[in-house]
């Protein structure tokens, strides 16, 4: 039995990964799905990246997690990288699932196309609480393009506004991912166009891991809603010894 901690992406919460978690649990493993600070009910939307990372460090320490396979989806890649830099002794393997892989001094926006950055900043400017929320049309076409309209609408309805500052903040690391003494895997969903195919997740970001295991499967950025069984199996393959 392995111990998995699944870290969600922007606009999500731990609850959005529970179906995937239950499938992994059914295969005999221990799975946790914490929610990052800034995405919990009632959280301030002025949370920055360091606070978000620290919330998961605290979770691992409070639960006594050891020998853990930590999985980060999308923005969650920023978080698990920061967590590994602080408490690497608690982690067996890092699994990046269509996730950002930052080196020291990089932000989510630094790894995003300029016209997407401009669009995100414009959306954030429309709100007065420090958050940003995707329009449904963008979510439907770019994030969950392998799901029907009903599935897309149900998924969108459980999203929550995300703290924009976590996208702007540059991560501070003592060790870049390629030099971390831990196993690393990258799961690439081949129909994921959330970042556009001209600016792909893999190999643009995955190659920053140095030595890593690659798992590729068909699916969109939101495969956790459209094909949870497929991503559950990929996570197990990515996390195996």
Spatial distance between the Cα atoms of 37 and 44, rounded to a whole number of angstroms: 9
Nearest to 134 by CA among 160, 98, 168: 160
User: Please, what sign has the CA dihedral across residues 111, 114, 120, 125?
Assistant: positive
Distance of CA 157 to the CA centre of its chain: 19
- Is 74 noted as a catalytic residue in this protein? yes
H-state helical runs in the chain: 18-26, 49-63, 76-87, 114-125, 136-138, 149-157, 165-168, 223-226, 228-239
pLDDT at residue 177 in the model: 98
Q: Are the CB atoms for 7 and 82 separated by under 8 Å?
A: no
pTM: 0.98
What ranges do the domains of the chain cover? 3-239
Q: Which of 55, 65, 74, 107 is catalytic?
A: 74
Beta-carbon contacts of residue 144 (< 8 Å; ≥ 6 apart): 151, 152, 155, 220, 221, 222, 225, 226
Pairing type for strands 3-7 and 91-97 reads unpaired
Q: In this predicted model, what pLDDT tens digit does every residue of 2-28 receive, in sequence order?
A: 999 999 999 999 999 999 999 999 999
Superfamily of domain 3-239: Alpha/Beta hydrolase fold, catalytic domain (3.40.50.1820)
Q: Convert the pLDDT of each residue in 172-202 to its tens digit.
A: 999 999 999 999 999 999 999 999 889 999 9
């Amino acid at each position: 039995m392995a111990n998995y901690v699944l870290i969600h992406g922007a606009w999500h919460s731990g609850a959005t990964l529970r179906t995937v978690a239950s499938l992994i649990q059914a295969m005999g493993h221990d799975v946790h799905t914490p929610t990052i600070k800034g995405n919990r009910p009632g959280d301030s939307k002025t949370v920055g990246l360091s606070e978000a990372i620290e919330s998961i460090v605290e979770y691992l320490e409070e639960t006594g997690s050891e020998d853990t396979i930590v999985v980060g989806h999308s923005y969650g890649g920023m978080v698990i990288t920061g967590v590994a830099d602080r408490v690497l002794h608690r982690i067996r393997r890092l699994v990046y699932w269509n996730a950002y892989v930052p080196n020291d001094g990089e932000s989510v926006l630094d790894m995003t196309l300029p016209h997407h950055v401009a669009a995100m900043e414009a959306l954030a400017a429309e709100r007065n609480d420090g958050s940003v929320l995707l329009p449904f049309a963008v979510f439907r076409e770019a994030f969950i393009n392998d799901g029907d309209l009903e599935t897309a609408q149900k998924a969108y309805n459980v999203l929550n506004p995300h703290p924009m500052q976590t996208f702007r903040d540059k991560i501070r690391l003592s060790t870049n991912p390629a030099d971390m003494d831990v196993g690393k895997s990258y799961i690439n969903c081949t129909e994921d166009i959330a970042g556009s195919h001209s600016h792909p997740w893999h190999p643009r970001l995955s190659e920053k891991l140095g030595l890593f295991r690659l798992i590729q499967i068909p699916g969109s950025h939101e495969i956790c809603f459209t094909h949870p069984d497929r991503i559950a199996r990929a996570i197990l393959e990515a996390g195996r010894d």
